[in-house]
Structure 1
Amino acid sequence: MRSLRITLCAGAVVAAALAPAAYAADAGVWVTPASPAPGSDIQLRATGCAGQTGTAKSAAFVADAQLTGKDGALVGDSRVPTSLKPGTYDIKVSCDGYDDKVKGTVTVAAGGGPSPSAPASPVAPVHAGGGGTAHLALVDARETGPGTRQAVIGLVLASVAAVAVAVRSARRSRHGEARD
């Protein structure tokens, strides 16, 4: 029985030691479409980062792509400059506090991509209403929701309820024994 326990512990140690290497082997950057034309919008998917945010940089992007966590990967969007020459360009993803932690490439195809039908940024205010709620978008998610104060109040209320149930049960059992 002891040898089985030692074997299982040794197997767990080996699996734990190899897990980061296996995880790193799956690291990479994927671009959709695979061979974008100049002026095309692209979607990025990067694996190999444990965090929920990252930044993808490449000479093939108009601007650095901000990546956010989704389905175990970091995803984001960018655009290929219309003046970019066809070729293969490096993509470097910074995440988990490390620069260039994940690397990949994008191959830009020849030919003009779709030209934008509208300006990239608004030229006038959008008439969508909801102006009074705009400040809510600026609220930090860490500042919302229950905090320590609410947790303590909840624990106190739960404790009071538990004591009330215990007292009531004790009274019922005492009164039930006296009737027999």
Structure 2
Amino acid sequence: MGSLRLTLCTGLLAACALTPAAHAADGSGGGVSVTPSSPAPGADIALRVTGCSARTATAASTAFVADVQLAGADGTLAGDSRVRASAQPGSYEVKISCAEFVIQSKITVVSQSEQSQQSESRPQSESHQPSQSQSHSQTSALSDTPASPVAPVHAGGGGTAHFASVDVRGAGPGTGQAVTGLVLAGVAAAAVALLSARRGRGRD
């Protein structure tokens, strides 16, 4: 009996030693986004973390001037920080401590010249869009153009369905159709009466 207890205790201790702690998980289910993605020394940044069910978390990195306090709800936390002015260009580890796990990510710090080049290389969507004056002149030109006559559409396309619905709602039966209906109804009534009379005579 003593050997059985010793075996059970040894098994429990081995299971506890092999089971990892919950807070040691790397939190692969979470996500981290940094804006701008490649900041320069002294630049302000915004952190956004997803996958954390807690309302608060802390982000720490040697690239930051201080730890970032993140707050939010519904699994999304956000906070602001600043890159140290003395930070050298390179990759820095970011560790977000959430309630259930720790999310590990990285941030890339670039030099001021590289950040300026990235800003200049971004496509300027405004340059491809017409200005307000050009749009106004085009609209004026279209409004000054005389309208050409257009023949009514009699079949096909979406116009057919539209006009058909109008005709069905507004048009009723004609006079000739009404007279024909009354005549047919009278003939049917006479035939029913004659058939009933014949059946009554046959029974007598």
Larger Rg: 2
Structure number with the bigger relative contact order (C-alpha 8 A, sep ≥ 6) is: 1
More helix, by proportion = 2
Q: 1 or 2, which has the higher strand percentage?
A: 1
TM-score calculated relative to the size of structure 2: 0.40
